[in-house]
Amino acid sequence: MTLADRVPAPALVLTGIVSVQLGGALAQTLVPVVGAGGSVVLRLLFATGLLLVLVRPRWRGHPPRAWATVGAFGVALGLMNFAFYGSLAHLPIGVAVTIEFVGPLALAASLSRRLLDGVAVLAAAAGVVLISEALAVPVAQLEWTGILLALTAGAFWAAYIVLSRRAGSQFPRLEGLALAMVWATVLMLPFGVASVPTWTGATVLKGLGIAVLSSALPYSLELLALRRLRPQVFGVLLSLEPACAALAGLVVLGQRLAPGQVAGMALVVAASTLVLGLGARGEPEAVTGT
| pLDDT score at 72 | 94
- CA dist 112 and 238 (Å) reads 16
Residue 5: which pLDDT band, with cuts at 50, 70 and 90? low
- CA dist 18 and 89 (Å) reads 24
Domain ranges of the chain: 7-279
What would you report as the CA-atom Rg of the chain, rounded to the nearest whole angstrom?
18
Alpha-carbon dihedral sign for residues 87, 198, 218, 15 = negative
CB 174 within 8 A of CB 220: yes
Share of the chain above pLDDT 70, in %: 87
What is this structure's pTM?
0.74
pLDDT digits (tens, 9 = 90+) for 248-273: 667 765 767 778 878 888 888 787 77
Residue 288: which pLDDT band, with cuts at 50, 70 and 90? very low
CB 117 within 8 A of CB 232: yes
In the DSSP assignment, the letter for residue 211 is I
Contacts of residue 225, defined as CB under 8 A and 6 or more positions apart, other chains included, come to: 9, 10, 12, 13, 16, 234
**Which has the higher per-residue pLDDT, 132 or 13?**
13
